[in-house]
Structure 1
Amino acid sequence: MVCLLVFIIVLHLLSLAMLLIATLEKSWWIWEDSEITDLWYNCLHDNTTDSWLCAATTESDWLQSVQALMVLSVVFSSVSLLVFLGQLFTLTRGSLFYFTALCQAFAGFTDFAACLIFAFHRKEILSASRDLSRGRFGYCFVLAWLCVPLLLVTGVLYIHLRKKQ
């Protein structure tokens, strides 16, 4: 039982870390000529100083919805972890972790919705005059997609987990 608890907590922490990286790090869209775009900034690599020059992204309704959904996903996953740790000490023997599972499932669904919106509305979100075929999805977008099954699997694991003494 202890091994299962440690596995679930490690899986939860791994998915939360991946979610934070996907939300905060630069690289949701990569252009060919050393330019990257994330949820918050457009960055251009300056070869003379070997640094990134970043400016705030142009706001659009689709971008704001992706930002909000990713932040909600982080919040739901964090609340789920805190609630789980609290329930470990307060639940009666034989109880199930339904609230924890519900929060984790909501985190997975909000992450899924954010990824879908970015994938289908990237032209409006990036609002670039350049051709989108010259760019590609970055590693943060891939991390966000990888978080979806991790979050949903941990949510299912919490549903089946029963508190024992």
Structure 2
Amino acid sequence: MALLLIFVVMLHLVTLAMLFIATMEKSWWAWGDIETSDLWHNCMFDNATQAWLCSSQDETDWLQAVQALMILGVVVSSISFLVFLGQLFTMSKGGLFYLTGLCQIVAGLSVFAAAVIYTFQHQEILQDTREVVLGHFGFCFIMAWACVPLLMLSGMLYVHLRKRA
């Protein structure tokens, strides 16, 4: 039972870290190694200074929706971990972690909605940047998609996890 508890906690923390990186890092859309776009900035690599030059992303309704949903996912998953710790130390023997599991599932649905919106609306979100057809989805976008099943799995494990001691 202790191994299952450790596995669930590690899965939660790894997923939370991946979710935070996917929200904050700068590679939701990439044009090779010289230009990237994320939820907050458009960045271009300057060969002369060997540094990234970033400017704020043009705000669209779709971009704001993706930003809000990703932040909601990070916040709800963080709250879920705190709720789990609280339940772990205060719940009576035999209790189930329903609230923690529900929070994780809500976080997963939030990230899923953000990733779906970005998938179908990336051309409108990237409207003022270089040709979209020359680029591709970046690793943060892929990481956000990877977080969805991990958050759902974590939520389902919490729903079925019973406190033993």
Q: Same fold (TM over 0.5)?
A: yes
Q: Map 1:117-136; keep pairs closer than 5 Å.
A: 117-128=117-128, 130-136=130-136
Tell me the TM-score normalized by structure 2.
0.98
The one-letter code of the counterpart of 1:44 is M
Give the drift of 1:42.
0.3
Give the drift of 1:31.
1.3
Counterpart Cα distance in 2 of 1:23 and 1:158: 24
Counterpart Cα distance in 2 of 1:101 and 1:159: 5
Structure 2 equivalent of residue 158 of structure 1: 158
Q: 1:78 to 1:129 in 2, by over 3 A?
A: closer
Counterpart Cα distance in 1 of 2:119 and 2:128: 15
Tell me the TM-score normalized by structure 1.
0.98
Unaligned runs of 5+ in 2: none
Structure 1 equivalent of residue 87 of structure 2: 87
Unaligned runs of 5+ in 1: none
Q: Structure 1 stretches (4+) deviating beyond 4 angstroms?
A: none
Structure 1 equivalent of residue 20 of structure 2: 20
Counterpart Cα distance in 2 of 1:7 and 1:123: 39
Q: 1:54 to 1:3 in 2, by over 3 A?
A: same
Q: 1:37 to 1:6 in 2, by over 3 A?
A: same
Structure 2 equivalent of residue 64 of structure 1: 64
Give the drift of 1:30.
0.3
* Secondary structure at 1:77 match in 2: helix
Give the drift of 1:33.
6.6
Counterpart Cα distance in 2 of 1:129 and 1:164: 55
Give the drift of 1:128.
2.9
Q: 1:156 to 1:130 in 2, by over 3 A?
A: same
The one-letter code of the counterpart of 2:138 is G
Q: Using the aligned pairs only, state the percent identity.
A: 58
The one-letter code of the counterpart of 2:86 is G
Q: Tell me the number of residue pairs that the alignment of Structure 1 and Structure 2 aligns.
A: 165
* Secondary structure at 1:121 match in 2: helix
